[in-house]
Structure formats: C-alpha cells, structure tokens
Amino acid sequence: MQGAAVQARDIAGPVQQAEYIRNSPTYTAGGNMTVHTLRLTPKRVALVAVIVVAVLVAYMLGDNWYRIQTAVPNAEAQQNATKVVDSQGPPFTAQYLFDTKVPNLWTVALDRKLTPEELTGLEKIDGTDGQAVWNYLRPLGGRLINRAYHPPGLEEDGSVETFRLSLLSDRSTTLTIENISVSHVKCTPSTAVSLIEYPPHGNASVDGIGFNLRTPDKPLSQVNENGVVDHDYFAKHKIDLGAGATPGALLVTAVGEHGQSCSWDFTADYATADDQSTFTFDNHGKPLTLESAPDRPLQHILFGPFGRGPNNPMAWQDCAAPDASCG
C-alpha cells in the first residue's frame, strides 16, 4: 500500500508541475517555440483605448491640415483644367433656321432661258401656287431667290433674306458676346439669265436685327415694325453664353447688293473672365449666301393680270420680250 501511494505521488507530481507551467505567463512548447500569454487588465485596456483615440485624433487633425493646405492649389488646378478643356473647342457654335417653304411671293432664277416647250408646261400651272411652280422649275435648274419683306429703316438695295440665328456654347465658364459684325463679304454679278416670279404687292416689317451687304462696315441695326430702333444693336445688348446659359437667338435680316450674288461670314467679339477674343463663324464650314436678281434678264416671266379679256385674268407674260406690255 505504501508503494502504491509513493508511485501515485510520483505520477501526480509531474502532472501538477506541467499544469503550473502551462498556466504561467511564459512556457516552452515543443522545445523550440515559446508561447507568451497576456493577461488583460483594466489598466492595459485603458492604455489601448487611449492609444487608439490618440491615433484617430492625430489622423483627423493631419487630414484636416492636408485638406486646408491643398484646397487652394486643388481649386486652381481644377480651374486651369476647366480652362484647358474649354479652350480646346470653339467658344460657341451657330445654328441657322431658314424658311425652306416657297413663299407666297416668289422668284426663281435660271442661268439659261426656258425653251418654248418648257414655257408651254409653265403656262399650265397656276402662278399663285408657288410650290407647284417650284416643283416644275427646280428640275430644270431653277433656284429660289429670297424675297422676304424689306424691313423699314434698312436701305433697300437687293434681295432680302430673313433667318433665325441661334448661338450655343457648351463651355463650363461664361463668355459674353459684345459685338457681331459682317465679315469676308464677296460679291459677283448674278449669273441669272431668266427670272420667273410672282411680283410683290406691298411691304411688311420684320422684328430683329438687320444689315446691308453693300455697307457691311455699319453696325447691325435693331429693327421692329416701327422702323429702326437703334442703329447699333450691340451698343445696348449683350449675349451671355456658357455655364448652362440659355442659347442666344436672333432674327437676322440680310439685304443683298443689287444684281449681285454675295457671300459673307460673321465675326464676334467676346469676353471671358480672363481676356477678350474674336471668333469668325459661318454656316457649318460654308459662307452664307444671298443672290439678288439682275435688272434686265434676257427672259423675265411674270404671273399677273396679263390675260386677254375684260377682267384681265391672271396669266404668264415674258416682260423682257420686245412687244411685251407689263406696265
């Protein structure tokens, strides 16, 4: 019995010793690896919390300081980048809206005389139906000569055309158009040989701005139904574009030069926040054009009260013929 007790004590001794070693803060496992255990105490938890808070506060203060230090350079860099993007394209674009319908009072020009057979076909058409006349003459080489109503206050010289001009800009920054002028005017004699037309009966007026190609150096005039309001439209008007501004729209009336076919561009003076510049714009890569009919074409066919009979019915008459009587 005593031997058994000694043996049990000898066995229990190493086991208790191993448990003590494993429960100690540091012990060796496997002979090569030392395992450390750390007891969490209130002081240690508080210390860790203080360190974490200090790191977060330092990060926030540093980030705020960095933002403050880089705010101005970043804003300047953004502005410079915006300017670079804006400068890569045109300051604005121009869109034109022309009335393509045949007007009630129309003129068609050809660079040759109509043959007798073509005149016979024309006489079968009612001249008050301008679209029908145009459908017949266009395949023969005819072209419409614009004959809008002449605005009061502008010197009447040649043909008149009125169109809508819209100016648009996709720039992020604002620009202001301070003036628009007519530029690069070129005129050559009209090549029209034959005119076929329904002559006008009275005048009307057009609201908007106008100019005469014979005097392109004059400022664009503002006109309304009472005549010229201001001889210089841009003396009292500006057009702001860019930065989401509403497109600028103008109703433009161009008066041609008598007996001439003319072309022209527009040049705009505009200002940005940094400087002033000029920009020349045309009609999508082509100049704008306006043809005025010659005074004495070889063939001048009018539709009017030239019919034979007591009521002078409407009929076709070549007023350029030697024996013609067109009044």
| Residue showing tokens 């809508």 | 164
Q: What is the predicted pLDDT for the residue at 274?
A: 85
CA atoms of 279 and 142, how far apart (whole Å): 35
Encode pLDDT of 40-91 as tens digits.
687 776 777 777 777 777 777 766 766 676 655 654 555 555 555 556 689 9
Q: For the chain, which residues score pLDDT lower than 70? A: 1-40, 45, 62-63, 65-67, 69-88, 147-153, 200-207, 225-228, 230, 309-311, 327
Q: Identify the pLDDT of residue 8.
A: 45
What are the φ and ψ backbone dihedral angles of 212, each rounded to 5 degrees? -115, 125
Find out whether 264 and 197 touch, Cβ atoms under 8 Å: no
**What pLDDT does 4 receive?**
47
* Confidence at residue 140, expressed as pLDDT on a 0 to 100 scale: 97
Strand partners, 210: 221, 253
Is the alpha carbon torsion for 238, 243, 245, 248 positive or negative? positive
CA–CA dist 2, 43 (Å, integer)? 51
Instruction: For residue 97, give the nearest of 283, 326, 226 by alpha carbon.
Output: 283
Look at the pTM and tell me if it is higher than 0.85.
no
Question: Exposed, middle or buried by CB within 10 Å (0-12, 13-18, 19+), for 264?
Answer: buried
Rounded distance between C-alpha atoms, residue 155 and residue 255, angstroms: 8
What pLDDT is attached to residue 52?
74
* The predicted structure's pLDDT at residue 59: 72
Per-residue pLDDT, 150: 66
CB 320 within 8 A of CB 217: no
pLDDT at 21: 47
Distances from the Cα of 300 to the Cαs of 98, 144, 189, in angstroms? 26, 15, 17
- Which pLDDT score, from 0 to 100, does residue 248 have? 84
Contact 166, 228 (CB under 8 A): no
Q: Tens digit of pLDDT for each residue in 221-240?
A: 987 766 667 678 999 889 99
Provide the phi-psi class of 166: left if phi over 0, else alpha when psi is between -120 and 50, else beta. beta
pLDDT of 54: 74
User: What does DSSP assign to residue 311?
Assistant: T
